[in-house]
Amino acid sequence: MAEVISTNPSTGETRSLGFAESSDDEVLAATRRAANAFDDFANRPLSWRAGLLRAMAEELEGDAANLVELAHAETALPTARLEGELRRSAFQLRFFADVVTDGSFVDATIDHASDSPMGPLPDLRRVRGAIGVVAVFGSSNFPFAFSVPGGDTASALAAGCPVVIKAHPAHPATSVATFAALERGAQRVEAPEGTVNLVFGFNAGTTLVDAPSVSAVGFTGSVGAGLALWERANTRSVPIPFFGELGSANPLVVTASAADERPTEIGTGLAGSMTLGVGQFCTKPGLIFVPRGESGDALVAATIEALSSLGTFTMLSSGIADHFRRGTEAIGAISGVRALVQADAGGDAHAAAQLYEVDAARFVGRDAYALREECFGPVALIVRYGSTSELRDALLATEPSLTFSLFCVENDRDSRWLLELGAQRSGRVVVNGYPTGVGVSWSTQHGGPWPSTTSSAGTSVGAAAIERWLRPVTFQSVPDELLPPALQENNPLAIPRRVDGILQHKN
Amino acid sequence: MAEVISTNPSTGETRSLGFAESSDDEVLAATRRAANAFDDFANRPLSWRAGLLRAMAEELEGDAANLVELAHAETALPTARLEGELRRSAFQLRFFADVVTDGSFVDATIDHASDSPMGPLPDLRRVRGAIGVVAVFGSSNFPFAFSVPGGDTASALAAGCPVVIKAHPAHPATSVATFAALERGAQRVEAPEGTVNLVFGFNAGTTLVDAPSVSAVGFTGSVGAGLALWERANTRSVPIPFFGELGSANPLVVTASAADERPTEIGTGLAGSMTLGVGQFCTKPGLIFVPRGESGDALVAATIEALSSLGTFTMLSSGIADHFRRGTEAIGAISGVRALVQADAGGDAHAAAQLYEVDAARFVGRDAYALREECFGPVALIVRYGSTSELRDALLATEPSLTFSLFCVENDRDSRWLLELGAQRSGRVVVNGYPTGVGVSWSTQHGGPWPSTTSSAGTSVGAAAIERWLRPVTFQSVPDELLPPALQENNPLAIPRRVDGILQHKN
């Protein structure tokens, strides 16, 4: 197998990490180790599981300086951003420890034996348990929060599922070091051997999705890779659920009233949001709907001005920068598109912010599909509309997305229909704010309708992310001592349950 | 298009219903009507939605005598069974009215703006809303409870989703009449035009799954048809979730101690369960694991004796009876299989109970796959085991299933490992009871790992069935008056919510 290589996108320097990509045998062995760990791991007390997640958080924080340095060298992301991202990842592990301790995620439900209009009903008790081994595909753009120690790993472990993580090739050294922190956390609490596993290489990814011991997949990345693996997960002899968070063009609408009220503020903020993390966020606002006319012009002028002072960036890899160059060229090449900001940053991994503009009537053209696709990187397309019906048609021509943002004023006559449309076509609607930044909370939804995610019922961030890795089982007439603790009569886990139809707080 | 024909399986008589199978245009028009109803329907108050479900239940009950007569003529199922099934269907609609009124299914979650270790978090509120138009495929074996007015229809309407139902060809007249009852219920509460729709014919089914306006599918039926439609749902340009409840061999294990304690009782009960509804239940116990030796022999003898007094049955259709004959012939043709009860009931839709026996060592043979498949109808295969390791190997050779039943004694040394294995490989484990009979309750799980269902996270019976038709959306910094009622600050729906991490009962 090829050696695993770490590349510094700022300098183009490469170094071998001294080991090879994982062979098929190694990947299958990792999935078997995880499968062997499953029973023991899934059946440990919830309090122990919470302790594991907290130990992992501590180990990440304990090695923070080293991890940030490694990630900075491999991603060119600023140190402050990476420090914040690492804090977020540790917070996320602790947050899932809270979710585990809360215990409502198992959805414990008890119906005592009773009479019904159809005759006697037996004692029925339902609980959601761990689905099995979870394969995790880390992303390029968040070397911590959506990679080895990220949300998929945290939520899968929280659900009681051992993980086999496929490291993203853009940051293998960071993956090795963050994995070591997870392993130290696991060892501290004496987790079963095989609870966390790491594999490398493109081939390892396909082998992992095919592996008989794998029960579900969490993926964050590009549409191309995601759909290929999704199809693979569906064509196994035993298909498995595949939760892919793919791409999203993220429409952002400015109503006429909002453009009138605060054009400079909105336009300037937009420049910041679309270039945050060098525009390498799946929540980057990519399609900006701005009214025609003076106020809209002022808004766009503010964006142009803010962008022009930004200079050049280094993207995550030269491959991603190449893709960005091709994508922006395709946008600029479409007739009717006006380039507002277009700088050449040189080759390799370098890039500069770009801004394009098109009329809404042109945007909806059948031949203008490239305008409506996500272009990963610091670029946005301004779509100028002249009427609400033009705006509506343009929004309906965009693909469903992870987010939908709306800038409006108080009592804006366009707020309601725009919010309704946004809620139907995205997983998160934002009012008077930018979509970049996904809080880790009980109320987070990070996942929208196809094609932004392969399963719109799932979220890859927030408490509900754990639901992806659970499978319900009902126990009928099972003696108390043989029931899982979550369902035993005296509620030994002290978790919220629904008993005979009534929601009950903890005992 | 071909005419829609109603067949009486007892007599073989057929009659035309006087209309043709649905054309593609008719199917697409039905999905568009449903899509047009969606916004209005999904946004009506939960109390109104509960009223719709109750009105439908009343209309079904009001026409009970006629419906049961129609269904009896088309299915040959006994009148008493059909009366019970209709009561169950009405109960199910009312149960979902209760689920709707309870309101916890929307999973309303509120996190007020706060500070976090990653800086300030905005106000985030998450709710699950209706996914869109749901296509429902009724089954042959439950003309009410898993057909037009069945669990998929009830749960989809409860979720706020209009439905387009594809009638099963085995009972078209029953489908027309039950649909009319649903429509009368809809009209009584002035539901939007297009809330419920009915289509007929094989071609209508494939067109329905392909229809752009359809957002999800609920299916109960055979593995062959289910997998073909599942694949179709996955290969649309916009794939949609497909919840298929397919087939299941339903292992039933008798431990050595249980066989010693009450062989006659268990063996006699088995005969009743495996022939209930002429064995045409997806929960029929098909694989019966019985210890070798005298107690096991006595158990099997009791089953044989009980079966031999049953006479002949009429199956749901001659096609199903043909399939049963071919399936049982395939079982009997495998070397090492002993026919214990094997009667010829003549042709057409007629059938008689059959019982086969095989040694566990033979059962696991690679060439004996036909033994491990579901055979729909009044047949079971007794698998005789000589040791727990033989039993374990045989159970691991069976495919995961909807149910797993265990007959054991108090403090049985084999209970624990068998229950754990059963819970890993099925959706419902039953102790000292037969798996036929699926109660409608908060704790019901009717769905197991692949291939018994296409999505093991889903259930087609019980309160959680509603979850299949929901999609979460998060509202960020949205002014109160623009939020869905479930998320407004003063909780106007008075539903349980999680606020700032704390579960709250109704206001």
Q: What is the pLDDT of residue B343?
A: 83
To the nearest whole number, what is the mean pLDDT of chain A? 96
Answer whether A64 touches B (CB < 8 Å).
no
Q: Which two tokens stand for residue B505?
A: 């009962």
- Residue A18, sorted as left (phi over 0), alpha (psi -120 to 50) or beta, turns out to be left
pLDDT at B278: 95
Whose structure tokens read 């009852």? B181
Compute the average pLDDT of residues B152-175.
98
Closest CA to B232 of B211, B202, B213, B210: B210
User: Residues A96-120: pLDDT tens digits?
Assistant: 999 999 999 999 999 999 998 778 9
Interface check for B109 against chain A (CB to CB < 8 A): the answer is yes
| C-alpha distance from A336 to closest chain B C-alpha (Å) | 28
Instruction: Select the residue of B121, B427, B432 nearest A474 (Cβ to Cβ).
Output: B427
d(CA A361, CA A53): 51
Q: Is B235 on the interface with A (CB under 8 A)?
A: no
Give the model's confidence band at A344: pLDDT under 50 very low, under 70 low, under 90 confident, else very high.
Answer: confident
Task: Tell if the CB–CB gap between B457 and A241 is shorter than 8 Å.
Answer: yes
Q: Does A110 touch chain B (CB under 8 A)?
A: yes
Whole-number Å distance between alpha carbons of A504 and A103: 12
Query: Nearest CA of chain A to the CA of B48: how many Å?
Result: 21
Which two structure tokens, joined as six digits, stand for B129?
């809303």
> Which residue in the set A88, A238, A505 is minimally distant from B503, CB to CB?
A505
Contact, B18 vs B214, CB < 8 A? no
Query: Catalytic: B408?
Result: no
CA–CA gap between residue B457 and residue B245 (Å, rounded): 12
pLDDT confidence of A41, banded at 50, 70, 90?
very high
What is the band of A1 on the pLDDT scale with cuts at 50, 70, 90? confident
3-class SS letters over A197-215: EEECCHHHHHHHHHCCCEE
Rounded to a whole number, what is the distance in Å from the CA of B355 to chain A's nearest CA? 26
Which residues 6+ apart lie within 8 Å of A126 measured at CB? A107, A108, A109, A472, A473, A474, A475, A487, B442, B443, B444, B445, B462, B464
Reply yes or no on whether the pLDDT at A75 is more than 80.
yes
Measured from the Cβ of residue B352, the count of other Cβ atoms closer than 10 Å reads 23
Residue that has been written with the tokens 């429509």 in this structure:
B183
Chain B touched by A117 (CB under 8 Å): yes
pLDDT value at A506 more than 90: no
Report CA Rg, chain A.
Answer: 24
Q: What's the token pair of residue A403?
A: 């987010």
* Binary contact (A429, B131; C-beta < 8 A): no
Q: What is the mean pLDDT of residues A220-224?
A: 92
Cβ–Cβ gap A457/B464 under 8 Å: no
**With pLDDT > 70 as the criterion, what percentage of chain A qualifies?**
100
**Ranges assigned E (strand) in B33-174:** 109-111, 114-116, 119-121, 124-130, 133-137, 163-166
Question: Taking CB atoms and an 8 Å limit, are A433 and B472 in contact across chains?
Answer: no
Nearest to A431 among B110, B426, B476 (CB): B476
From the list B109, B443, B503, the residue facing A109 with the nearest CB is B443
What is the CA A458 to chain-centroid distance, rounded? 10
Residues of chain A with C-beta less than 8 angstroms from the C-beta of B419:
478, 482
All structural domains of chain B, each given as residue ranges with its CATH number in brackets, are: 25-113+121-246+456-470 (3.40.605.10), 251-431 (3.40.309.10)
Of A152, A204, A148, A202, nearest to A180 by C-alpha is A148
Q: Which of B124, B433, B496 sits opposite A477 (nearest CB)?
A: B433
Burial class (CB in 10 A: 0-12, 13-18, 19+), B119: exposed
Confidence of residue B506 (pLDDT cuts 50, 70, 90): low
Q: Which of residues 474-493 of A touch B (CB under 8 A)?
A: 474-479, 482, 484
Kindly list the residues from chain B whose CB atom is less than 8 angstroms away from the CB atom of residue A420. 39
Is B126 in the A-facing interface, judged by CB distances under 8 Å?
A: yes
- Contact by Cβ (8 Å): A70, A173: yes
Which member of A433, A473, A482 has the closest CB to residue B476? Answer: A433
Pick the residue from chain A with its C-alpha nearest to B85. A118
pLDDT at B307: 97
CB–CB contacts below 8 A, A to B = 207
pLDDT for residue A363 is more than 60: yes
Phi-psi category of residue A137: left, alpha or beta, with phi > 0 → left and psi -120 to 50 → alpha: beta
From A17's Cα to the closest Cα of chain B, the distance in A is 32
Cα distance from A238 to chain B (closest Cα, Å)?
7
Residue of B282, B374, B375, B408 marked catalytic: B282
pTM score: 0.97
Q: Is the pLDDT of residue B401 over 70?
A: yes
Q: List all residues 6 or more positions away from A387 whose beta carbon is below 8 Å from its beta carbon.
A: none
User: Residues A24-43: what's their mean pLDDT?
Assistant: 98
B498 and A442 within 8 Å at the Cβ level: the answer is: yes
Q: Of A183, A229, A176, which Cα lies nearest the Cα of A202? A: A229
Contacts of A496 in chain B (CB under 8 A): 503
Chain B residue numbers touching A159 (CB-CB < 8 A): none
Which positions ≥6 away from B96 have C-beta within 8 Å? B53, B154, B155, B157, B158, B463, B466
One-letter-per-residue 3-state SS of A10-73? CCCCEEEEEEECCCHHHHHHHHHHHHHHHHHHHHCCHHHHHHHHHHHHHHHHHCHHHHHHHHHH
Q: In what order do the strands lie in the sheet containing B242-245?
A: B196-199, B163-166, B133-137, B214-220, B242-245
| CB nearest B124 (choices: A432, A439, A473) | A439
Q: How far apart are CA B297 and CA B293, in angstroms?
A: 6
Tell which of A476, A500, A504, A507 to mutate to test the B interface (max B CBs under 10 Å): A476
Handedness of CA A410, A414, A420, A421 (dihedral sign): negative
Mean local confidence (pLDDT), A174-201: 98
Average of per-residue pLDDT across A446-460 = 95
Check pLDDT > 70 for residue A405.
Answer: yes
**Range A7-25 average pLDDT:** 97
Residue A471's pLDDT is 98
Mean local confidence (pLDDT), B104-113: 98
With a CB cutoff of 8 Å and minimum separation 6, the contacts of B487 are: B108, B110, B125, B126, B127, B475
Task: Give the containing element (helix H, strand E) for A472.
Answer: strand A470-476
Residue of A nearest to B122 (CA): A439
The yes-or-no verdict on residue A507 having pLDDT over 60 is no
Q: Does position A36 have pLDDT exceeding 80, yes or no?
A: yes
DSSP single-letter state for residue B453: B
- Tell the burial category of A53 from Cβ atoms under 10 Å away from its Cβ (0-12, 13-18, 19+): buried
A110: closest CA of chain B, how far (Å): 6
Asked if pLDDT for residue A147 goes beyond 90, the answer is yes
Contact residues, B window 379-438, toward A, CB-based 8 Å cutoff? 410, 415-416, 419-420, 423, 426-433
In A355-383, which positions are buried (b, 16+ CB within 10 angstroms) versus exposed (e)?
Answer: bbbbbbebbbeeebebbbbbbbbbbbbbb
Are A149 and A178 in contact by the 8 Å Cβ rule? The answer is yes
Chain B hits for A255, Cβ within 8 Å: none
Q: What are phi and psi of A265, to 5 degrees?
A: -60, -45
DSSP B153-200: HHHHHHHT--EEEE--TT-HHHHHHHHHHHHHHHHHTTPPTTSEEEE-
> Of B245, B357, B390, B399, which is the active-site residue?
B245
Provide CB contacts within 8 A for A264, sequence distance 6+. A298, A299, A302
Q: What pLDDT, on a 0 to 100 scale, did the predictor assign at position A116?
A: 83
DSSP string of B206-275, one letter each residue: HHHHH-TTEEEEEEES-HHHHHHHHHHHHSSSS---EEEE-----EEEE-HHHHHH-HHHHHHHHHHHHH
Q: What's the whole-number mean pLDDT along residues A247-255? A: 96
For residues A343 and A133, the model is more confident at A133
Mean pLDDT, rounded, of chain B: 96
User: Per the CB < 8 Å rule, is A426 touching B122?
Assistant: no
Angle of helix B388-397 relative to helix B415-424, nearest 10 degrees?
Answer: 10
Nearest CA in chain B to A109: B443
Gap between the Cα atoms of A353 and A344, Å rounded: 9
Asked if A367 and A215 count as a contact pair (C-beta separation under 8 A), the reply is no
ipTM: 0.97
d(CA B360, CA B393): 8
Partner residue facing B443 (CB), from A124, A444, A484: A124
- Tell me the per-residue pLDDT of B233-281, one tens digit each, with 9 for 90 and over: 999 999 999 999 998 999 999 999 999 999 999 999 999 999 999 999 9
CB contact under 8 A, B503 and A118: no
**C-alpha–C-alpha distance, residues A199 and A179, integer Å:** 10
pLDDT score for B507: 47
> Is A84 close to B234, i.e. CB distance below 8 A?
no
DSSP-based three-state secondary structure for B365? coil
List, as ranges, residues 276-315 from A with C-beta within 8 Å of B: none
Does residue B91 belong to the interface with chain A, where contact is any CB pair within 8 Å? yes
